[in-house]
Chain A
Amino acid sequence: MNALLDVVLVAGLLALALHVARARDDQGAIVGFIAFGFLLGLGWVRLASIDVALTEAAIGGGVTGLLLLRVEAHTRDSSAPDRTARPITIAAAAVLCIAVTAGLAFVILNLPSPPPTQAPAAAAALDATGLENPVTAVLLAYRALDTLLEKVVLILALVGVWSLAPDHLWGGAPELRPAVVPEPLSYLARVLPPFGVLIAVYMFWVGADAPGGTFQAGTILAAMWLLVMLAGLRAAPDTRRVTLRLLLIVGPAVFLAVGFLGFAMAGGFLAYPAGAAKPIILGIEAALTLSIAVTLGMLVSGPSKRAPTS
């Protein structure tokens, strides 16, 4: 039964991916991609990675889809002729891509057995962190440096997006509200956010011990904020507002501060004092959740569209 479900899932994923590759118009391709994202989330459930499944559904399907739809709507009246590639290019690309896929399939079918894994090592070290969810432990303890760098990546992407504003608008606010706000959107934006915030807080809280965590929670918060801004209930803030900037960096800053405190208190950068690891990690996660929510929201909002106030 499960095997059948898997096959159907895989078939659906491949069909949707092919649809994205072949669709005539971008809008259809993006709708297909959003569906692909949610299907992929199911696939991750089947791979027993609930953490990833939540992230994939929130980001891959949700926020990325929103981002793509917005830009598609913006650039739709592109008058440039949609030149298609020459047949020879298509044929060569098809051959090479099939070759790559075949090579990968060969490797995947021949992966060593028994499979090498860090699961035992991760489990053995879990006690020292006081956490129950090993993925959170990897993200915030064992490989905390990766996560820290990743947060810098996120912020830097935002710096890059903001740098695309025209000079006279720099520092101003982005504009999300469409010319006409559809009634259902307006309604949803009024009703959903309280629930969203609740779910986010829950996810953040259980993240230490069960699937879920800072990134998933942050994404849901971001989605709620975006909804409010899209419906025009609240305007997007000026990108140079100090409060906004503070919220952006509070997560990474707390993370870094804890890292440096590790020098003094736990004998090394990003080391946690024995016994106090869990509360410290929760503190970092709380700050990160806020920052992620704000960063994602601003990333989707794009560069400034209005001159800064005052």
Chain B
Amino acid sequence: MSTAGLLVAATLLLPLAMTALCVISAFRARALSLLVLAPIPALMAALWAPEGTLVFFPAPFRMTLTLDRPGALLLGGAALLWSAAGAFAAAYMAGKPRTAGFAIWWLLTLAGSLGTFVVADIASFYLVYGLVSLAAFGLIAHEQTARAQHAGTVYVVLALVGEACLLLAFVMLAAGSPEANPLIRDVVAKLPSSPMRDGIVALLILGFALKMGLVPLHVWLPLAHPAAPMPASAVLSGVVVKAGVIGLIRFLPFDSGLPGWGAVLMLVGIVTAYYGVIVGVTQLRAKTILAYSTVSQMGLLAVLLGISLGEGDPGGVNLVAYYGVHHTLVKGGLFLAVGIVAATGGARLRPVLLLTAILALSLGGLPLTSGALAKLATKPTLGYGALGMAMSVAAAGSTLLMLHFIATVAGDARGNAETVAPASEVVPWLVVALAALVVPWSLYPAVSGDPALSALQPDAIWKLVWPMALGGVAMLLLRRFRAVSGSIPEGDILVLAERCGPAVRRLGVGVEHLDAGLRRWPVAGLLLLCIAIALAGSLIAWR
């Protein structure tokens, strides 16, 4: 195995090995401080492993890893955030109870999350996807408050539903393949000609949209992301949702294209992009606002994916990955910022808030930031017609939402005591923030095909500024309507779904009654005779 191969393999193996080492109590006690190291091989692999590296694990592990362009992009961004958030967690969680358990769930989620970017075969994808989905429960429910419990429950239910959809889709995909565990790209190549194509694609979109948080499957996200401890929120909202993105990138047939399904994805994406903003501005808690912002941003990614799928443009996924990296770093940085701001007061507050604001507005496309680059890079794809306009307005919405976020954070920090956040928290945050601002510049030429300086042209800047101005105006208007704030509960339509609770409970009670009836001796005896007669009778009838 080459060095590159080893690096790719270590991406998955190091966090798993660290989890296993937690059996030793001495290691367990220090696990928290070592979290920062776990994603290092992934980072190195993303930086140095050549594209197309393939790694085969020996039997009986039936696992194949690969590194392609979008995978490497997302892997790099994710690894960076995981590492920085790990360092942040070491400081943030220190002294709190149950850190060992937190570290174990963290490592498992990390392994699964990074794994989704590199595995190449179907069974392993399901494995790592299941790992990231279920281990995240441990992070969400970690604080054990009533909110966290509720969020965890909702999350698990939906995650399991998503898993079931994907399992069925994967089985249908693999059913036509001679191999029991084929490579993803092989089965996806045959997908357009599969007789079960539409069913498979529908299930895939359903399963992955659940993870991304596309409307109306987003309900868990505004509950779950804020419920976790600060660093965990950062990775959940920054990285874990990308498991859905990489899933769609890997499993949809971008080479041949599916116009109908592309349109569906695009439509869902537009609705999600606006929906996230509209509900987000009514929210009162900073972390919840960020979560709704994630919903909105994932809608944007879905639009990009939909266009690529509709046009059969495999290059489009690189753009998606690029936008994903930008969102990973910025959103991670913002969640950490909430933690930093909460721990900062007095004179230090101002620079902290300034950096937070820059990061936040980056999501709206603030010139010179990664958001600007991401928006510019996607402009040609979105076009300049109605769709492009719609997305520009969505960017205005993002600006509005982020202004709302800044206002909320600043308001929360007003009463802070004169304190300084510890350096061990500030440094990781600065690293993420810096990376969020710098890394996209280095990737821009490769992804967009334009030199980086083209982003500084006046017309490019104008394309970015007018939506932001629009967002600013909207913010002013919003301030007038105070009734709006807090009018929609977290998880919005989930509240409607939970109205069905009593009905479900009644069904459960009904099942219990039926069970009690069936388990009475004479009833069971009669049923036994019925079954015997039915078995004998069915055969006689056939004769």
Residues of A within 8 A of B (CB): 85, 89, 92-93, 96-97, 99-100, 103
Contacts and interface: CB of A to CB of B under 8 A. Distances in A.
A100 B522 contact: no
A89 B525 CA distance: 10
B503 interface: no
Those 7 A-B pairs whose CB atoms lie nearest each other, nearest first: A96-B529, A89-B522, A92-B526, A85-B522, A99-B533, A93-B526, A96-B526
A96 B531 CA distance: 11
Nearest to A106: B540
Contacts of A85: 522
Nearest to B526: A92
Interface of B: 522-523, 525-526, 529-530, 532-533, 536
B536 A96 contact: no
Nearest to B533: A99
Tell me if B's interface is mostly helix, strand, loop or mixed: helix
Contacts of B525: 93
A80 to B, nearest CB: 15
20 contacts: A85-B522, A89-B522, A89-B523, A89-B526, A92-B526, A93-B522, A93-B525, A93-B526, A93-B529, A96-B526, A96-B529, A96-B530, A96-B533, A97-B529, A99-B529, A99-B533, A100-B529, A100-B532, A103-B533, A103-B536
B427 to A, nearest CB: 67
A5 B526 CA distance: 35
Nearest to B520: A89
A148 B536 CA distance: 33
A109 B105 CA distance: 69
Contacts of B530: 96
A92 B522 CA distance: 10
A287 B24 CA distance: 60
Contacts of A89: 522-523, 526
A100 B532 CA distance: 9
Given A97-B529, A100-B533, 8 more contacts: A93-B522, A93-B525, A96-B529, A96-B530, A96-B533, A99-B529, A99-B533, A100-B529
A231 to B, nearest CB: 39
Contacts of A93: 522, 525-526, 529
A291 B440 CA distance: 89
A147 to B, nearest CB: 29
Contacts of B533: 96, 99-100, 103
Contacts of A92: 526
B41 to A, nearest CB: 59
Nearest to B521: A85
A97 B523 CA distance: 14
A271 B202 CA distance: 66
A103 B539 CA distance: 13
Q: By CB atoms of chain A within 10 A, which of B522, B525, B530 has the most?
A: B522
A90 to B, nearest CB: 9
A171 to B, nearest CB: 35
A85 B526 CA distance: 13
